Amino acid sequence: MAAVTYENVGRVAVVTVDNAPVNALSQAIRIGLSEAFDRFDADGAADIAVIVGAGRMFIGGADISEFGKPPKSPSLPDVINRIEASTKPVVAVIHGTALGGGLEVAMGAHYRAALAGTRLGLPEVKLGIMPGAGGTQRLPRLIGVDPALKMITSGAPVTEGDALKSGLIDRVCEGTDIRQAALDYAQSLLAENAPARPVSGLPQPADTDSALSNWRARLNASLRGEVAPLVAVDAVGAAVVMSFAEGLTEERRLYMELMETPQRAGLIHAFFAERAVAKLPEIAGIAPRDVARIGVIGGGTMGAGIATSAVLNGLAVTLVERDQDAADKARATIARNLDAAVKRGKLNAERRDAILADALATATDYATLTDTDLVIEAVFESMDVKKDVFAKLDAILPRGAILATNTSYLDVDEIAAATSRPEDVIGLHFFSPAHIMKLLEVVVAGKTAPDVVATAFALAKRLGKTAVRAGVCDGFIGNRILSHYRTAADHMVLDGASPYQIDKALTDFGFAMGPYQVSDLAGLDIGFATRQRKAADAHPRDRYPTFADALYHKGWLGQKTGHGYYIYDKGDRKGRPDPEVEQIIAQARAGAGITPRSFTNDEIVRRYMAAMVNEAARVVDQGIAQRPLDVDVVFLYGYGFPRWRGGPMKYADQRGLDAILADIRTFSETDDHFWSLAPLLQKLVAEGRNFDSLNQR
């Protein structure tokens, strides 16, 4: 049961927040804190109060169960103001994490201390809002405008060491006993006759070196439409020019405006969706198999990335290649990946050396895999090659070992049929670079055992991946939908749009990259191979992007050759448009007898998104994705979809499914083959429902 307890220990009042698992600031906790400090002010036996959190952390932030519901009294700003108004000193002693409202509570105290290993942050911008309980007013008074803006606009937490250097906290406490650390610090403050020291009484922060304008310029250049960080800059600006009371009022006004934005709704949807994807009825209560040693077949970019991810997360890996030269090359790739992790501060040199010496083995013989618990195949995307690999693994691996394929498109049921144990076969579709990208599509074949599915999700969690269940079809969830909306983009190029206009329209919409920038990054040889694979199944009315093949045959394969849709000068990864590409496209149009027309950026976005949503509706309707939210998470983590829009299905709900449907009907007037309506989309519009209604099932 949620509780705030009050206890006298000598002259110290110990106020403990106890609301497992993260001490969230529910209404009950807010009431409890208000009552505790009313009691403290009236308590003649207490000269100082300490606030601590029970369990593994101080206060994790707001109570997510209250998200989207009418606010309940007392508000968090009122509670924090009540704490700060105490005439006797108040100390917050923090352990674990103090995030969002939790850190705002700590800043409402007069002194702050933390145990080693503590993280402190204001992550509200990641939910489309900003600190709304004094964080934008108190933090710059404690640490200055520029450091405060760095914390607030990024949402990234800081360590207790950095917090001490900046002035956010006053002491780092020794030991691990939070209660004893709090009592010791309180006693030392009593011995010093330390007074109450409200942050609101500290000097008003100054806009040193034009930090506010610098941050506005920086964020305008990088955010691609996200508004919360920029509004947070305005709130911090209020701390510079207004009194504390006026600043609190302005902060709350801006906070409430953000609460009503579609971006806040999109980011809250993303927050809950990424927690829901792993909640599958088919594995509820099912224990995963133990996985300590894994094998990886193939040491190319993908295989080496998978192996890197595994060793970085404490797994022993044996990587098998076709010959010693290839095995040595794979080891060198993994070593470079680990070196990069050292440079980024994610790994120390000693740990890197230990991994290379003890956790990673390379080999050329499948027999070295006989003691592995799970083997991931990451070889060439050929059904014959993969079936040969699985037949060999089936012959040598012990029963109970899991056989996984990293295929991007191929039929996992057909691969499983090459073994005598289809129940142990599953798809694990990693995204490149596999040691960095967070998405993992778990492709469940027809005979995959439930505990194998549970193991896949447990492995994903260990690797720090966000796993999404997918069914078997060409391309699974992400690549199947990608194929459809990329075709829509190619059609627009054939009809008159520039690839550069399309990329610009979609990055302005919020995508990390446009489709032709993505092609250059992945390599145009990848797209060529995909088109060739699908050519046998092409419909007579399919429109083929001959311009893409022309670039491939010129050897313009994208960034790796310095030339694709864009020209990449030495050291430039952004690229610049190429007039010769425009000429090649013009020739393709002429060859197809097309008279080009102009496109507005709005039409480009509407066509691209309608194609994405229409195919996604089919994917959900056919059970390839179990819920619309699964599609959203795939695109947020694997395809650069703007997080603040919540994913393609959330975007469709916010725009209105009737508007999407109307667009598709309009587009189908000139191409009813490509723009055929998904039955689920029609059904939802007819019933007055949206995609989110299907997330509740």
Which residues have a catalytic role annotated? 104, 124
For residue 74, whether the previous peptide bond is cis, meaning omega lies within 30 degrees of 0, is: yes
The backbone torsions φ and ψ at residue 405, rounded to the nearest 5 degrees and listed phi first, read: -115, 140
Number of neighbouring beta carbons within 10 Å of residue 611? 24
Output the 3-class SS for 434-495: CCCCCEEEEECCCCCCHHHHHHHHHHHHHCCCEEEEECCCCCCCHHHHHHHHHHHHHHHHHH
What is the spatial distance between Cα 237 and Cα 542, in angstroms, rounded to a whole number?
55
The partner residues of 402 in beta bridges, in order of sequence, read 374
Neighbouring-strand partners of residue 360:
317
Nearest-10 Cα torsion for 609, 624, 272, 136: -30
- The encoded tokens of residue 347 equal 């790994």
The whole-angstrom separation of Cα 171 and Cα 167 is 9
> Crossing angle of helices 135-143/145-154, nearest 10°?
140
Beta-strand ranges (E) seen in 307-418 are: 316-320, 360-363, 374-377, 402-405
Helix (H, G, I), strand (E, B) or coil at 51: strand
The amino acid at 644: W
Any alpha helices (H) in 344-449, and if so which ranges?
A: 349-354, 383-396, 412-416
d(CA 368, CA 372): 9
- The Cα 638–Cα 434 span in angstroms is 11
* CB-based contact 307:319 (threshold 8 Å): yes
Residues 509 and 505: their CA atoms lie apart, in Å, by 6
Q: Closest Cα partner for 663 from 479, 477, 488?
A: 488
Contact 228, 140 (CB under 8 A): no
Residue 69 near residue 26, CB atoms below 8 Å = no
| CA separation, residue 419 to residues 41, 369, 394, 424, 684 (Å) | 73, 16, 6, 9, 41
Contact criterion met (CB below 8 Å) for 321 and 298: yes
The number of residues making up the chain comes to: 697
**Nearby residues of 583 by Cβ (< 8 Å), 6 or more positions away:** none
Whether a cis peptide bond, with omega within 30° of 0, leads into 21 is: yes
Instruction: Report the C-alpha gap between 25 and 30 in whole angstroms.
Output: 6
Contacts of 561 (CB under 8 A, 6+ apart): 555
Residue position matching structure tokens 């690999």: 389
Q: Which residues of 182-207 are buried (b: 16+ CB within 10 A; e: fewer)?
A: bbbbbeebeeeebebebbbeeeebeb
